């Protein structure tokens, strides 16, 4: 269904075109036709005054869990969650069972997506067969099957020579590798950041150096090959410096940060009380770091060094988290709170509005080889997200569309919510009016 709409009176921010102003936006037959002041109404008019109108968000890093882990999440539930979170394009990480490492698995995945997805889902293929880090996956089949990137997700490619080959081969096929930068020998067994809180709680930590040494290695491989590389979820100030330096030297490096690492620190594991909470919902890989790291990441978004805010949305079943901290699964279900954490940081004066919107739209649009017009409101664009930045709400995981209720933000009051989403030319989501 291609709708004809006028979104009237909102603040339109489209970093791709350098637009930021209180304007109307006209959609005809599902596609943006005009942005301007005092546009004449055609079709349905929605008053969005007080709201921010942006391109539909792009998430470079989502876990849909299907196939193989449907108790944690399905394509149907997690894409609905994405939609309600303002994301119209999401890139599905390959840590499923089976993992998309060849044409047949990919084909079956695309059929499921075709059937169940509520937003645009673009698959990320495996770097190595079965994500085992031994032999390369069928890269050409993955490229032909529409993968936008390659990654072994939570399993960093351990062998430097294999990684070098992968970067080179993938780049030649137009797919960057999205790498979880981690030196397993340093992080092995660690369930949170190594530092103040891990020492206090007697937990084995993952040191900063596990991330920075892997980033350094991968930058060196990127430099050696001249090929594109995407660094997934940077979490440390020092790691970000390495990326910034590589960018200054003109290397084809991009990077992302998660809303969780922008909003939370290692203290979330301890919790707010006098006694430690050992909050498994704050257990995430790479781990939540220090306040200094968090501030550096926020600055990195503002400065444009970080290309994208990517959720690393990781839904889990209740029993995956309701256990001893060391035994709990890594990950936060955050695609429905991502925007609100970002707008709350804007409200606090930490994140800059324009930079944050860029990191959700045009920034990620430039990272993977997406179809044209994604992440912009150019004529012909079909995805729009409307944000109500003043809407205060309290996070109640029981109301998530996601199967994953695993968030350390339950009970937090956040400022900002997704008011409406136009996906592929249709108003696919509208927030229920207050009191409804």
Q: Does 274 bind another protein (CB under 8 A)?
A: yes
Please say which residue, 61 or 283, places its beta carbon nearer to another protein: 283
Hunting for tokens 């012909």 — which residue is that? 380
- Cβ pair 66, 36 in contact under 8 A: no
Separation of alpha carbons 356 and 369, rounded Å: 21
Q: Can you tell me which of 326, 347, 352, 424 binds another protein, judged by CB under 8 A?
A: 326
Q: Least distance in Å: CB of 236 to another protein?
A: 16
Instruction: Give residue 325's Cα distance to chain centre.
Output: 25
Q: Does 111 bind another protein (CB under 8 A)?
A: no
Q: Can you tell me which of 18, 38, 161, 202 binds another protein, judged by CB under 8 A?
A: 202
Binding string, residues 161-180; x marks residues near another protein by CB under 8 A: --------------------
> By CB under 8 A, what part of segment 338-367 binds another protein?
none
Q: Can you tell me which of 199, 291, 396, 430 binds another protein, judged by CB under 8 A?
A: 199
b (16+ CB within 10 A) / e for 18-51: ebeeebbbbbbebbbeebeeebeeeeeebebeeb
Q: Can you tell me which of 104, 319, 396, 430 binds another protein, judged by CB under 8 A?
A: 319
Q: Identify which range of 103-111, 226-234, 324-332, 352-360 contacts another protein by CB under 8 A.
A: 324-332
Question: Which CB contacts under 8 angstroms, 24+ apart, belong to 18-27?
Answer: 19/377, 20/354, 25/53, 25/377, 25/384, 27/3, 27/384, 27/422, 27/425
Beta strands in 44-174 (DSSP E): 44-47, 52-55, 57-62, 87-92, 120-125, 149-150
Angle of helix 338-347 relative to helix 353-360, nearest 10 degrees, comes to 160
Binding string, residues 1-40; x marks residues near another protein by CB under 8 A: ----------------------------------------
Q: Does 327 bind another protein (CB under 8 A)?
A: yes
List active site positions. 312
Q: Can you tell me which of 69, 325, 330, 429 binds another protein, judged by CB under 8 A?
A: 325
> By CB under 8 A, what part of segment 404-433 binds another protein?
none
Structure tokens at 186: 């340093």
Q: Does 196 bind another protein (CB under 8 A)?
A: yes
* Number of residues lying near another protein (CB under 8 A): 20
Angle of helix 208-225 relative to helix 160-172, nearest 10 degrees, comes to 50
Instruction: Tell me the longest C-alpha to C-alpha distance in the chain.
Output: 64
Q: Can you tell me which of 303, 322, 390, 392 binds another protein, judged by CB under 8 A?
A: 322
Residues that bind another protein (CB under 8 A): 195-196, 199-204, 274-278, 319, 322-327
């Amino acid at each position: 269904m291609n709708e004809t709409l006028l979104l009237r009176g909102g603040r339109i921010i489209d970093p791709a075109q350098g637009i930021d102003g209180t304007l109307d936006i006209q959609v005809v037959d599902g596609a943006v036709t005009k942005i301007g002041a005092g546009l004449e109404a055609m079709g349905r008019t929605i008053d969005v005054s007080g709201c921010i109108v942006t391109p539909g968000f792009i998430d470079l890093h989502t876990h849909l869990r299907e196939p193989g882990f449907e108790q944690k999440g399905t394509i149907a539930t997690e894409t609905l969650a994405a939609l309600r979170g303002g994301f119209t394009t999401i890139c599905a990480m390959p840590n499923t069972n089976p993992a998309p490492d060849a044409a047949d698995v990919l084909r079956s995945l695309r059929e499921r997506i075709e059937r169940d997805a509520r937003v645009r889902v673009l698959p990320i293929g495996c770097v190595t067969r079965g994500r085992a880090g031994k032999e390369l996956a069928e890269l050409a089949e993955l490229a032909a099957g529409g993968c936008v990137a390659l990654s072994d997700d939570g399993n960093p490619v351990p062998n430097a020579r294999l990684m070098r080959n992968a970067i080179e081969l993938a780049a030649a096929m137009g797919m960057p590798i999205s790498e979880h930068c981690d030196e397993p020998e340093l992080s092995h067994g660690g369930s949170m950041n190594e530092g103040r809180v891990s020492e206090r709680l007697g937990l084995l930590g993952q040191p900063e150096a596990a991330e920075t040494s892997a980033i350094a290695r991968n930058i060196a491989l990127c430099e050696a090959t001249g090929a594109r590389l995407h660094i997934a979820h940077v979490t440390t100030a020092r790691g970000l410096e390495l990326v910034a330096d590589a960018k200054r030297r003109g290397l084809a490096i991009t990077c992302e940060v998660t809303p969780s690492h922008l909003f939370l620190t290692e203290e979330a594991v301890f919790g707010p009380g006098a006694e430690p909470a050992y909050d498994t919902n704050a257990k995430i890989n790479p781990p939540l770091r220090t306040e200094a790291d968090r501030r550096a990441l926020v600055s990195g978004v503002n400065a444009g060094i970080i290309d994208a805010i990517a959720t690393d949305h990781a839904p889990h079943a209740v029993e995956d988290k309701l256990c001893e901290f060391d035994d709990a699964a890594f990950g936060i279900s955050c695609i429905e709170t991502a925007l609100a954490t970002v707008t709350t940081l804007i409200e606090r004066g930490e994140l800059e509005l324009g930079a944050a919107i860029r990191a959700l739209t045009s920034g990620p649009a430039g990272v993977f080889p997406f179809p044209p017009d994604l992440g912009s409101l150019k004529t012909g664009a079909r995805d729009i997200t409307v944000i109500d930045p003043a809407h205060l709400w309290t996070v109640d995981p029981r109301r998530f569309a996601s199967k994953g209720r695993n968030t350390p933000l339950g009970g937090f009051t956040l400022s900002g919510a997704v008011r409406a989403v136009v996906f592929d030319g249709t108003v696919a989501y509208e927030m229920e009016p207050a009191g409804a």
